[in-house]
Structure formats: structure tokens, C-alpha cells
Amino acid sequence: MKKRRLGSLGNWEAVSLVTFLFFSGLYFWSNNSLELSITPMGEDSEILREKEGLWQEEGNWWEGENEERDVGADGVDKDGPYLVSRVVDGDTIRVWIGVKEEVVRLIGVDTPESVAPGEPVECFGVEAKENLTGLLAGEVVYLAGDSSQDNRDRYGRLLRYVWLETGEMVNFKIISAGWGEEFTYKVPYQYQADFIGAERLAKIEQTGMWGCLTVN
């Protein structure tokens, strides 16, 4: 009777050992297989993270959902940076916001027309466009709206102030350079007084187009 119990116990231990070895081997095999299967994905993920980091360093203009916000020394809350895809006119540009190319009309400034449909190119229209192209071609910019103005104009263009990475406001620079006039649409805007002062000074100094005109 005693020998029979010992024999049964030995068999049970053998079965337990075999079972343990089987599941241990299965666990070891599955872990190695899993590691092998996820390693390429891990490498791809690392590459993807590196690419995402590169996009962010270059401005992140394609990822609208991840757009950064910048508050400069002037305390203005801006969106961006966004890549300028094209200068349309002396006061209008195209930028990439997310995966969409948006037309942006600069607030508070009006330049001679160079691309108005069905209209001749106005005097200094080409020069005004060249001035803005020199400032923005291939650049990234920051944008900010004005609560006193609409988000878009009647043509669907975004109404914005535009800043360079240096912190300079493009709207102001256009007027200071003498290639645009201060322009108020219906109601005053935040920087109206500054723009009026910049236009007055450009006229006095005969900067840009004012040097070719008789100013009263």
C-alpha cells in the first residue's frame, strides 16, 4: 500500500514536471516571438518619433492639431509657426495651416493691387508685392487675429497680424517701408494708432512709393 502511494506520488511529480517544462518553454517561446515581432515596429516607431521631432523643429505647420502657441516679449498670443507658401499681393499671403493652404489678408494695411481679377496692375503694385516677397519668401510666420475684426473677410480670407520669427510685425513693416497705407475697415483695430504714425513718418521721409509721389 505504501509502495503504491509512493509510486503514484512519483508519477504525479513527473507529470507536474513535464507540465511545468512545457508551459515554461511555451512562455519563453512566446516572449521571444513577441519581441521579434515588435522589434521592427519599435524601430519604426523610433523613426516616426524622430520624424515628428523634425516636423516640430521645422514649424509643425502640417499638424494643425498640434500647432504651437507663442507669447513673445510683446505679450501677444500668436499661432504658429506656419510656412509661407506664396506671396499673393503686397498685403496678402498664403500659408500652410494644418494640411490646408489658407489665404491670409493682413489687417490694417492696404497696398496697390497687382493681381485683382479684371483690373490693371496699379502703380507700385509690383513693387509692393516684391517688398513683401523679400520679407516672407520661404519664411515661417506667426499669426494673430483681432477681436475687433472678423475672423475672415467677405472673400473667405483669414484676417491676421503677421509676425516674423525675429518678432517684427509684417503689417507694420509694410507701412514703415512705404509700400502700403494704413487701412481701417469699419471699426478701429488694435494697432491703428501705430500704423497711422508709421505711414505719416514714411511720407515725411519719402520712403518707398512716397518718394515717387507728391505728398500734401
* Radius of gyration in angstroms for the set of CA atoms belonging to the chain, rounded to a whole number: 33
Q: What is the DSSP letter of 189?
A: -
Q: Point out the catalytic residue in the list 130, 152, 157, 165.
A: 157
- Cβ-based burial of 34 (10 A; exposed 0-12, middle 13-18, buried ≥19): exposed
Distance CA 139, CA 83 (A): 6
Answer yes or no: are the C-beta atoms of 85 and 61 closer than 8 Å. Answer: no
The secondary structure element, H or E, covering residue 62 is none
Q: What is the dihedral of CA 193, 198, 203, 207, to 10 degrees?
A: -160
Q: What is the DSSP letter of 187?
A: S
Our CA angle for 203, 207, 208, nearest 5°, is 115
How far lies 98's CA from each of 59, 78, 105, 111, in Å? Answer: 11, 15, 18, 28
Q: Point out the catalytic residue in the list 105, 160, 181, 182.
A: 105
Q: Point out the catalytic residue in the list 102, 113, 181, 182.
A: 113
- The yes-or-no answer on residue 105 being catalytic is yes
Length of the chain: 216
- The yes-or-no answer on residue 182 being catalytic is no
Which residues belong to the active site? 105, 113, 157
